[in-house]
Amino acid sequence: MAAMLVGALRRGSGCRGGSRLLAQSLRRFVSTLVVAEHEGGFVKPSSLSALAAAEAIAKDNKVSVLLGGSGPALHKAADHAASSHPLVSEVLVADSEALAHPLAEPWAELLRSVQQKGGYSHVIASSTSFGKNLLPRAAALLDVSPVTDVTAVKEPHVFVRPIYAGNALCTVKYTGEEPCMMSIRSTSFSPTTEAMSETKVAPITQVDLSFLSEGKSSWVNLTSQDTERPDLANARVVVTGGRGLKSAENFKLLEQLAEKLGAAVGATRAAVDAGYVPNDLQVGQTGKIVAPELYMAFGVSGAIQHLAGMRDSKVIVAVNKDADAPIFQVADYGLVADLFEVLDELLKKIPEKK
């Protein structure tokens, strides 16, 4: 491959022509491994966005999808992955109880083994809790540096990522050894809506897991809230409360509004630190990144760390009694009023969700 790239550069007329030929040659040799997450027998939307990022790297990208876990749900998710995107050429299934939970230790070993056998030029994961936990460990095992929080792909090795809590965008070029490992913000890459033909279903291959050994970490349990509301990271509507709600009891007003709107409930770090809600509802730089069609903020001041997690929302509505609150600088619609009065009026006038 190196000789072919050198030949391409020599044929180029001048530096600019050579660089263009180099980029074209790189695209011809791109192959990508997407580390996918699944739930309930389906690939998660954040992982479908990772497939869109793979397409942004190269239109003729050869993409393999890696799924891990155990049981019937894993194999159902593999069927879904096989027909999820036109570029998917293979689905790799790692069926083991050791991979049934998002532990970085066995997953990093799996990723290293699959990469060493497949020789992929790129490895992509979403910037979810799982992806952020897995990617650095796997990159260390492969002796490469990951590129994190990518929001746009300019060339196969040139990416855009936010810095300074999202207040600036930085264009970076990866110059290290292969693979180029990257995590992507799922809100920046829209999953494909192209209809898949039944004849374009990718083959499913079982991964040899003989290398897996018992690690030093073990899964204990998962504590989560049982709710019918949509997942915060993927919801079309998000209703968020800040410290202005003053108590956990008052947060129930937001939950009632969310029920009527079919929305997810979010919170600022200040509200989480005050103990109003659990930390899995936190939106912001150190929480979840969301980009819903409608984002409603009640009692949210608009600290820079919070704005970093929701500034890509399509429509932002803010309610705060402080007219100088920074949230109004990014809001499409702002209302300077007492949030409890506004919530009371909304709960009275919005009908129950059918």
Q: Is 303 annotated as a binding residue?
A: yes
Nearest 5°: CA angle at 102, between 141 and 146?
35
Q: Is 299 annotated as a binding residue?
A: yes
Strands (E), 71-155: 88-95, 122-126, 147-150, 152-155
Dihedral of CA atoms 241, 244, 246, 250 in degrees, nearest 10, equals -40
Q: Is 301 annotated as a binding residue?
A: yes
Residue 311 CA to residue 290 CA, distance in Å, equals 8
Q: Is 206 annotated as a binding residue?
A: no
Q: Is 286 annotated as a binding residue?
A: yes
Query: 174-177, long-range: CB within 8 Å, 24+ apart, which pairs?
Result: 174/147, 176/144, 176/145, 177/143, 177/144
Secondary structure of residue 62 in the 3-state scheme: strand
Q: Is 320 annotated as a binding residue?
A: yes
Q: What is the DSSP letter of 275?
A: T
Secondary structure of residue 244 in the 3-state scheme: helix
Q: Is 302 annotated as a binding residue?
A: yes
Q: Is 268 annotated as a binding residue?
A: yes
DSSP string over 224-243:
-----SPPGGG-SEEEEE-G
Q: Is 300 annotated as a binding residue?
A: yes
Q: Is 269 annotated as a binding residue?
A: yes
Q: Is 171 annotated as a binding residue?
A: no
Q: Is 284 annotated as a binding residue?
A: yes
Q: Is 285 annotated as a binding residue?
A: yes
Nearest to 308 by CA among 178, 197, 163: 163
Nearest to 343 by CA among 314, 321, 315, 327: 321
Q: Is 192 annotated as a binding residue?
A: no
Dihedral of CA atoms 225, 228, 229, 230 in degrees, nearest 10, equals 100
Known binding-site residue numbers for FAD: 243, 268-269, 282-286, 299-306, 320
Known binding-site residue numbers: 243, 268-269, 282-286, 299-306, 320
